[in-house]
């Protein structure tokens, strides 16, 4: 059971993430949105917990990540930070909290750091937001970049198809990797791009590339509800399911309902 568990219990930091890349130790990241799940993932040895704005879909049932607010992200990040001892906790800056101007972005970044206890922020985009990222990293706040299929731009893309298949977009992405590194990013998430392009990005800079639907990288990230099979109507090619919580929960709830209805719960030993 414990063969896969991490024995290095030191807190994961920006420095440790770089060392992991240098040493060829893969980084395991999962999303998390609440205290109890964060505690389980952290104890199991996940290196990074991403308080993703996918909370907008997974927690709130929205069709995109756009509606989630700064206050809602702060609430989720606070809960996750309380549950994490070892993992490096990254909070997404939600749509609208960093695109307006640099001062507004920095104010919001500082607010998230102060109120949540997370370790870093994640922002979607390349050269267009490099100055914003620079002003946040220069304030001493670690930033994780996010390139490729950036869900906050879904209306501009028009679909969730793989990005950067064409040479021009692939070259722009590689330029963005370098730009984000120069702007001070401590890692970059690469979402839904060809594996061959990810391999080039991995070699281009010394900071870790964390892939999702991007082939082999320095690390991987998945949405926890998807990989645990809680959400059984989302099955992209890149998703590996490690459990079927949908089935397990439906079965458990079904048995509970039956016990209540037939009066076998609570039993005498479950009563005061």
How many residues at the interface with ligand KIV, by CB under 6 A? 11
37 touching ligand KIV, by CB under 6 A? no
Q: How far is CA 49 from the centre of its chain?
A: 6
Among 19, 167, 178, 191, the active-site one is 191
| Residue 22 is a catalytic residue | no
DSSP of 221-240: EE-HHHHTTS-TT---TTPP
**Ranges within 111-170 binding ligand KIV (CB under 6 A):** none
Q: Which residues between 56 and 85 bind ligand KIV (CB under 6 A)? A: none
Binding of residue 212 to ligand KIV (CB under 6 A): yes
**Torsion sign over Cα 163, 101, 30, 46:** positive
Q: Does the protein bind ligand KIV through residue 52 (CB under 6 A)?
A: yes
Tokens for 150, please give them: 């950036």
Q: Which residue is nearest to ligand KIV (CB)?
A: 52
* x/- track of binding to ligand KIV for residues 215-234 (CB under 6 A): ------x-x-----------
Of 123 and 130, the one with the shorter C-beta distance to ligand KIV is 123
Q: Which is nearer to ligand KIV, 155 or 258 (CB)?
A: 155
Give the nearer residue to ligand KIV in terms of CB position, either 205 or 223.
223
DSSP reduced 3-state for 157: helix
Query: Hey, what are 212's tokens?
Result: 């999702």
Among 12, 28, 41, 53, binds ligand KIV (CB under 6 A): 53
At its nearest, how many Å lie between ligand KIV and the CB of residue 29? 8
**Identity of the residue, 21 or 76, whose beta carbon is nearer to ligand KIV in the bound complex:** 76
- Is 248 in a helix, a strand, or coil? helix
Give the binding range for ligand KIV (CB under 6 A) out of 47-55, 134-142, 235-243, 259-267.
47-55
User: What residues contact residue 225 under an 8 Å CB cut-off, 6+ apart?
Assistant: 31, 58, 231, 245
Q: Helix 167-182 and helix 195-204: axis angle, to 10°?
A: 30
Question: Binding to ligand KIV by residue 188, rule CB under 6 A?
Answer: no
CB of 206 to ligand KIV, least distance (A): 21
Which residues have a Cβ under 8 Å from the Cβ of 193 and sit 6 or more positions away? 147, 148, 149, 162, 163, 164, 170, 173, 213, 214
Cα–Cα distance measured from residue 141 to residue 247, given in angstroms and rounded to the nearest whole number: 41
Examine residue 54 and tell whether it contacts ligand KIV (CB under 6 A): yes
Applying CB under 6 A, which residues contact ligand KIV?
A: 31, 50, 52-54, 92, 189, 191, 212, 221, 223
Just list the catalytic residues.
191
């Amino acid at each position: 059971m414990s063969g896969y568990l991490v024995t290095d219990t030191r807190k994961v930091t920006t420095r440790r993430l770089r060392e992991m890349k240098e040493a060829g130790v893969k980084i395991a990241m999962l999303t998390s949105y609440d205290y109890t799940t964060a505690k389980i993932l952290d104890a199991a040895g996940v290196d990074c917990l991403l308080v993703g704005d996918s909370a907008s879909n997974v927690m709130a049932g929205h069709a995109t990540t756009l509606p989630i607010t700064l206050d809602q992200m702060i609430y989720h990040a606070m809960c996750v930070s309380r549950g994490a001892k070892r993992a490096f906790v990254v909070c997404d800056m939600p749509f609208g909290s960093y695109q307006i101007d640099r001062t507004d972005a920095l104010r919001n970044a500082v607010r998230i750091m102060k109120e949540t206890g997370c370790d870093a922020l994640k922002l979607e985009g390349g050269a267009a937001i490099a100055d914003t990222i620079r002003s946040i990293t220069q304030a001493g706040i670690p930033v994780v970049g996010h390139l490729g299929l950036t869900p906050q731009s879904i209306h501009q893309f028009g679909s969730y198809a793989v990005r950067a298949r064409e040479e021009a977009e692939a070259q722009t992405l590689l330029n963005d990797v370098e730009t984000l590194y120069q702007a001070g990013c401590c890692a970059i998430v690469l979402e839904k791009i060809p594996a061959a392009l990810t391999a080039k990005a991995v070699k281009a800079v010394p900071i870790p590339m964390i892939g999702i639907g991007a082939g082999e990288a320095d690390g991987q990230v998945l949405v926890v509800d998807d990989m645990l099979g809680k959400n059984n109507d989302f099955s992209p090619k890149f998703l590996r399911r490690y459990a079927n919580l949908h089935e397990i929960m439906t079965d458990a709830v079904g048995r509970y309902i039956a016990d209540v209805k037939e009066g076998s719960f609570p039993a005498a030993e479950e009563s005061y």
